[in-house]
Amino acid sequence: MLPITTVVEEIKSEMAAKRPGDSYEIVLVNDCSPDGVWNVIEKLAETENNVIGINLAKNFGQHSALLAGYGKCSGEYVVSLDDDGQAPLDSLNDLIAKLEEGYDVVYAYYHEIKQNLFRRFGSWMAGLMGKFMLDPPKDMKGSSFYVARGFVIREMCNYKNAFPYLVGLVLRTTRKIAWVETNHRSRLQGTSGYSFVRLLGLWLNGFTAFSVKPLRLSTFLGFFFAFLGFAFTILVVVRRLLGLTTVDGWSTIIALILIIGGLILMMLGLIGEYIGRIYICINDSPQYVIKEIKGSLPKEHDDAH
């Protein structure tokens, strides 16, 4: 049995036990998964009257897939989680209760993340990059398991570019963000689909879609090295006037050329990345393409959570 079936059953159990008066919908998005999960989603959509299945035409990435699902959500609150079973659904009511204190978005925060070293490093890098690029609230903690108010989700769906980054979309919509500490579960089966290339692409989305700080950094580096070059020139002239001779340091010169040349090429590549993404967005490259949708919600679910 695939983890998604277990996750759906746990959602139903938690809602029945802790929020029995609330109507709700479950939107399941298949981002072209190779493990046959769409067949399972189809059966769930056929047998459950509050389940919608969305099948994407190809793999567009986690953030695009989530936006595809958000576009079909109609609830006052929207809960987002992965289907790997690691999200502690027994904390779902705690997240919603925190949201009802007046916040717009509430994240689950894991004191100990049960992922391999590579994924923990990727999460750490993404958090570090987010703090530098996006100026989040102080000590903000996040994860892929969170609840948001409907207006936040609708505003996020207004973003139509091909390179979405969800944390950036949240932060440009609201700063009323909180987090609830909870336990991270072990993965039910399989391994994470994030490779180094995908993580790099996600970081680039955060770098280029919601901040110009990398370009400003290149400007500061240019001024810094120009200042160093000017100061070194003055030093050479002064030493020459004083009659001091020095032995030519070829290794030092070559090292400086390589460092400065490497920085120049890196910054040119970064500028090219910005320009390339602008070009792709101008060409209206799709954020996602929905191949088919299974299931429909009854009218009484129009105000679902």
Dihedral pair phi/psi, residue 26, rounded to 5°:
-120, 120
Strands 77-80 and 146-149: antiparallel
Type of residue numbered 31: D
Dihedral pair phi/psi, residue 172, rounded to 5°:
-85, -5
Type of residue numbered 108: A
Average pLDDT over residues 75-104: 90
Dihedral pair phi/psi, residue 301, rounded to 5°:
-95, 10
At how many degrees (to 10) do helices 117-134 and 196-209 cross? 10
Helices assigned H by DSSP within 2-136: 3-18, 37-47, 62-70, 92-99, 117-134
Which CATH fold topology does 3-210+289-303 show? Spore Coat Polysaccharide Biosynthesis Protein SpsA; Chain A (3.90.550)
Q: pLDDT tens, 110-153?
A: 876 655 565 666 666 666 666 666 677 777 777 889 999 999 99
Asked whether the beta carbons of 54 and 28 are under 8 A apart, the reply is yes
Type of residue numbered 261: G
Report pLDDT for 101: 95
Asked whether residue 23 carries a pLDDT value surpassing 70, the answer given is yes
Comparing CA positions, the residue from 245, 263, 247 lying closest to residue 255 is 263
Comparing CA positions, the residue from 192, 168, 165 lying closest to residue 287 is 165
